[in-house]
Structure 1
């Protein structure tokens, strides 16, 4: 009698074929060569020899690497920068060493600083263009950007004159881009708020609370001393692993949660820039912001107890957001007759708000970014 064939040993993790299959099923057709690139960049772990199939070794990845390759596939549609991708993976909880994130943050901040110097070099910089007009290159660039129209133009959330807009852009370059300390009038500082679309935050309330922007418009410029890339770079030079780990959940909330909350507020109040939150609505589609937000969280927690308390309160309030999105999804799955009955029981104002939220959900406005 023939002995029963022993069952094949079970693989303790996915192999390369499994990763490619998972990515392809999600719509990201990676190749073997791309897998090698991701391994070399440290964006996916290297496989280890787990067992033999006959005399052939079987190499497998840690469990969960399928999710990691799909996550990378989604983000690589927006950036191929391995440092930015490394920060995004770490924020999401994938096994990226924290010390690698420290290096990635420094490189990202250096890249931002280099970009600022290319688009707005200082007058004495070797990169500065030769201008026979004698006009400051940052001032010239600001005027050019202020006048630009079309899909690549800067957003125009609030109406401004060309001169007001140009001066506000110049201030943004000098303060938040370069960290310069310059004299600014109250009117100029307020125009910077308007350029960024923040001005409605001085008058709109959310659930009867607010406005959230009070005091002098110079407060925004004061933040540049801490949050401009040069200042953030100095902070990251001395950051500890413990500081990064403590900052991770807050940065995750700001990067993923705030855009979703901004779109939800826009739907509730019928105003995409309600309370000045419009600039957040699609920030999770800009991967380069993730390292900046993480660095800002570290800087806030290190230097400003009041802002740290506000950040903690914001993070706590955002924990209800997934449940809110689940409730909206449940509403969409109701029969239309039941939805109409439920809406009819609400006061007129609440009925209008719920109708706008449902319409926004049907249009996919809450599905633009990755899941919170």
Structure 2
């Protein structure tokens, strides 16, 4: 292998692992948004638990990695000398969008940012024929539409059942306080599920690179790749995506423990099932769908369609925006074959450093954090005073009769 190609491979692997790191602090913390909001877990404890479970989850499955390394891009149509540069350009698009949305606190998908960056870079650097649009549609686009809807329906049903089976009332201050313990289990499942899905995307990218340059001949990730990606995403999670967690003081402060339990159970089941099938999902989108569904499951709730529309626009913009940056980076590589890769790499480093420096002006930490999933909680409005249930009306009538009887007895006593 030529020295220039080897250097490019090293740079791409370094950038891929950095993307994995940004995925950790950008997306994974959403798994713990609802238990932090309801008080089931302290913020730092929740993030540490999420980091450990992401590490474990990354070792449980490699189906998503195989989808990326052997499905989305037709690597046989791309020269081994060009392909590393294309992957580098795609990663620049994904990282730039991830860092920008992290700075602004906007809802977005790290997964779709990665796919968008790769697709945009491949189209400009090679041609559109190098993209397997059938796999993109079946494994990326359709799941992105169906999964949040499915998760919302499951969460809606689970919330209805939770309130019906416990025979208590939404007007109670703690809203089924017993569900707080259950939330620790379900939120842990979400973190585990995230590891089985998102960490594998970086595994797939590195494996695809190694296959293209002839260092690997099978789509299964090597053990060192699995270890590196698992550790990196766990480290990113532990560093704390506080700017994205944003739990306190916004939409999710209205989430009751029963809702949080139902939403997390729905999110975990949806992602785990999709990981087994090799579907590359967005944790943010699935979690948001679950939060909206669980909110609608509460009696007296209505949808804030304007907020839903804003969230949806953020989702839709992610893939083309990251694709545009990836395409621009690929154009630099094509225009300057010798220095294009070096220029792209240092531009990526400069963008990351600038955005990180800019974020220090308005630092977000465990004491003032909120979550982008909290925006989904704001999409559902619940009446402060829901209509009384049959039992509540019966108790009120009994209390009124007792009060009337007591007042009558008091009058009779005064006459004597």
TM-score under structure 2 length normalisation:
0.23
Q: Between Structure 1 and Structure 2, which shows a larger proportion of helix residues?
A: 2
Choose between structure 1 and 2 for higher RCO, CA contacts under 8 A separated by at least 6 residues: 2
TM-score under structure 1 length normalisation:
0.25
